[in-house]
Amino acid sequence: MTHMQHSSPKKNRLVSAIQTGKSISQAAEIAEIPYGTVKKIWDRFWKTGSMKNRWCSGQPPKVTKHMHWEVVRLAVKDRKMPLQEIGNLVELHLSMTAVGEHLAEEDLHRRVARTVPFLKPGQKQKRLAWAREHGGQDWEKVIWSDECYVYLGDTKGRVWITRHPEEEWDEGCLIPKFQQSTIYVMVWGCIMKGKKGPLVVLEYPGGKGDGMNVKRYIEQVLEGKLEKFYEDIRSDRDGVVFQQDGTLSHTAKSTKKWLCDHGITLFPHPPSSPDISPIEYVWCELKKLVRAREHPPTSTEGLIAAVKEAWDMIAVKDIDKYVNRMDDIVDAVLKAKGGHTKY
């Protein structure tokens, strides 16, 4: 007699349902497993803490333990290898589904890989040195700054909606997608613990040679907004420092001279390190708010208005949430020896 083998994800759904208060009959319906089988699986889990079937004597299983671990070894050795290719490399030529089930038993799953900046060895060393130097830093005294592009029709990320099944294509349930939009704005902003600084919509012609340069950075950002904000903060807090990344307009001699002449002390920022700047997460929040608008902007003027409104909506407590984890970020950089962190 042939017994049907249920996949690990199915069994996981079953046990989770019972653990959250569902009856065995309700869990059986959720997991789509016969009631009698559910009782056996739950009884085994209750007694052993495992949902795996025991390896039995008699006729050997189609997939041996050796083949199971070969599947796992191949998947871990080359994490980008497609499941179909893994299945073709083992002795029995397993299907994609079978490979996925074997990996799930070891809590290995296919997921979208995180995208991170490429770090050269020298950049890792600079990140590590930065983390060693700034352990125990007083983060309340750091002004974090950055520029950010916001595009019209930026639909990166999922937008969740609530709808009936038949409303899939209703106008109010759709997110417009703009083809190759050239409408965007570049903004500069700054934050610090307990404060949300000014937002500047940067003005420049664009095109080759007409982007953000030293002159525009000094006039529109440093003289335009930072100088007053810095003076206001310095009257309340001693030892305030200013962080900016390594963009050419930031590191130019003219920029450094302006900052020095105005008594603004720079806080170092290692290269290719958006994960150690809290303002990066604020930009993510700003873009989410722009995307979530009921009526998305359709022009540059509308996009500018939407960005300003989103900046105003960001709460200081949310900014503090990101600044407060800077000690954890420093520890993570140290643990990664200057490599990537989860932040």
Cα–Cα distance for residue pair 343/340, rounded to 1 Å: 8
Cα–Cα distance for residue pair 220/147, rounded to 1 Å: 12
Helix (H) or strand (E) holding 147: strand 142-151
Residue 199, φ and ψ in degrees, nearest 5: -110, 130
Q: What is the pLDDT along the chain (343 residues), one digit of tens a residue?
A: 445 567 777 777 878 888 788 888 888 888 888 888 888 888 777 766 666 665 555 554 578 889 999 999 998 888 888 888 999 998 878 888 889 899 889 888 888 777 788 889 999 999 999 999 999 999 999 999 999 999 887 666 556 666 767 767 676 666 666 554 568 899 999 999 999 999 999 987 555 556 789 999 999 999 989 999 999 999 889 999 999 999 999 999 999 999 999 999 999 999 999 999 999 999 999 999 998 888 888 899 999 999 999 999 999 999 999 999 999 999 999 999 999 888 8
- The confidence score (pLDDT) of residue 2 equals 44
* 3-class secondary-structure state, position 183: coil
Q: Is 7 exposed, middle or buried (0-12, 13-18, 19+ CB in 10 A)?
A: middle
How do residues 141-189 score in pLDDT, each as one tens digit? Answer: 999 999 999 988 766 655 666 676 776 767 666 666 655 456 889 999 9
* 3-class secondary-structure state, position 201: strand
- Count CB-CB contacts under 10 A for residue 56: 8
- The confidence score (pLDDT) of residue 58 equals 53
The predicted model scores a pTM of: 0.70
Cα–Cα distance for residue pair 55/210, rounded to 1 Å: 69
- The confidence score (pLDDT) of residue 289 equals 93
Cα–Cα distance for residue pair 139/135, rounded to 1 Å: 10
**Which residues have C-beta within 8 Å of that of residue 18, sequence separation ≥ 6?**
24, 27, 42
Which bin fits 209, alpha (ψ -120 to 50), beta or left (φ > 0)?
Answer: left
298, 167 contact by CB (below 8 A): no
Q: Is 54 exposed, middle or buried (0-12, 13-18, 19+ CB in 10 A)?
A: exposed
- The confidence score (pLDDT) of residue 121 equals 92
- The confidence score (pLDDT) of residue 59 equals 52
- Count CB-CB contacts under 10 A for residue 260: 11
Cα–Cα distance for residue pair 145/69, rounded to 1 Å: 49
